[in-house]
A and B are shown apart, each in its own frame.
Chain A
Amino acid sequence: MNFPKELRYTKSHEWARREGEKVVCGITEYAQKEISDVVFVEVPKRGQAAEQAKAVAVVESVKAAFDIYAPMSGKVSQVNADLESRPELVNQDCYGQGWFFEIEASDPSEWDKLMTAEEYEKNIQNESVK
C-alpha cells in the first residue's frame, strides 16, 4: 500500500499535507480500502473550527458510516466540493482528487504529534495482528 513519505498520519487513518500555513487532509489508502465503496462524504463547513482528533467529517459506504477526525486544530479554510457529486474520488485517488478539507492550523506544533509514513505503516501492521 502507498503511504507517501511527505505526509503525516493519524491513528484514525487520516493523512495531512503541509502547504505553508495550511494543512490539506484526507483519508489513507488503507482506510479507503477498509471502507470499500465510498458513497457519500459529509465535509465540514468552511470557516468551521476544527480540533485535533475531534470528528469533523463523515464518510459513508452502503452499510456503514465513519467519523473523520481533524489531524490538526484550526479553522477549516477549504473543502473539496467535488466529493458531493463524485464520492468515488476517495477510492480512486485518496491522496489527490479525493482530499477532504484544508485547515488553517492554529498550533503548528501539533504537526509533530502526527505519525510519519513509517510509523503509520507499523501501526497498521500492529492493528491487523490484533
Chain B
Amino acid sequence: MALKLPQFAIAAGAVVGLLTIGLCGLVTAARAQQGAPIEDVETIQLRPNFYMIAGGGSNIAVQIGVDGVVLVDAGAEAASDRVIAAVKRITDQPIRYIIDTNADADHVSGNAKVAKAGRNIQFAGSEPLGGDLARDMTNGFAATVLASEGVLSRMSAPTGKTAAYPSTSWPQETFYQDRRYIYMNGEGVEMFRMPAAHSDADIAVFFRASDVIAAGDVLDMTRFPMIDPANGGSIQGEIDALNRIIKMTVTPIPFIYAGSVGTYVIPGHGRACEQLDVVEYRDMVVTIRDIVKDLINSGKTLEQVKAANPAGPWAPRFGAKTGPWTTDAFIEAIYKSLKGATK
C-alpha cells in the first residue's frame, strides 16, 4: 500500500534537496580544506539560556546571561561572520569566553575573528580601563580563549618555527589538570580533560545548571569517532571519554514518561543528543573495538581486518569511503591503537 506523506514533508524535502544541490560545491571545498562541511549556520535552542549553532564547521555551544556569552568552540574561520551574526541574533551581550574542545581547524580556526567580536571579561565595563596597557595585556580586548594545554601546543610553535595559526587565535588560558572551572551567568562551567581520546587535547565542558555537556569530537553524530593516534588519540581513551560523559548525564528517572529530557549533550558535529544517544554511540564503538580485537587475536593482519568489515552494520550511518575520515581509517586507528597497547 502506498502511503501519502504530508505535503509539508514533501515540500521540506524539496527545499532540502535544492539547498543540498546549491551547497554541494561549497561543502566539498570546505571539507577538503578543514575536514568538516561549512553550511548555512543554524541555531537550535536547547534551554531558555542555551543554544547550539550548527553548520559552521564544528557545533558551537552558546550559553547566554548577564555576564555575557560563553561559547564552546568557535567553528571554522570561513563561517565566522555567520557565527557572529547568529550569536547577535540570540543576544546583544558580548562574547566573553571561547572554550576550545580540541585543536582541529573546524573547532579553532574561527577563534581570532569570533574572539575579536567579543569583549574580554577583564574589561566588562563600558569604558575599558588601562588603555594601551590593558589592550596589550589581553588579546586586544578580545574574548578569552580557554583550552587544554594540548590545544595551545598544537596551534602554536616554538620560536623559529612556523605556527599552525597566528597568535591571535591561540588560547590565552590553558590548563593541564583534570578539571578547570569558571562561574558564568549563574552557573558553574566545568571543563574535564578527556585524555588520549580523539586526541591528547580533548576536553568536555559541563554547564551544571543548564544541564548541557559540550562533548567535542569525542562524540560525532555524523561519523565514526575520529581517533588520531598521531596526536595522542586512542580507542581506549575514546571509550573512556564516552563512558565519562554518560556518567555525567542524567535521564528523568523515576518520572520517565513526563516528557522531560534530562541532560543534553552537544556533539562535535551533528544533531544534539541525550544520554541514550551517547549510550548507543558508545555501544557501537565498544562492539566494533571488540570485533577488531577478536580478529587481531585470531592473527589477522590490518588488511584482513579491514576486509572483514567489522564496522559494516554501522557504516551506512556513520562511515565514509572518501573524505577526511573513512571507515577504513577508523578501523586502522583502532587496529594500531590495540596493537600499540599490546606491545
A and B held together in a complex: no
Interface residues of A (CB under 8 A from B): none
Interface residues of B (CB under 8 A from A): none
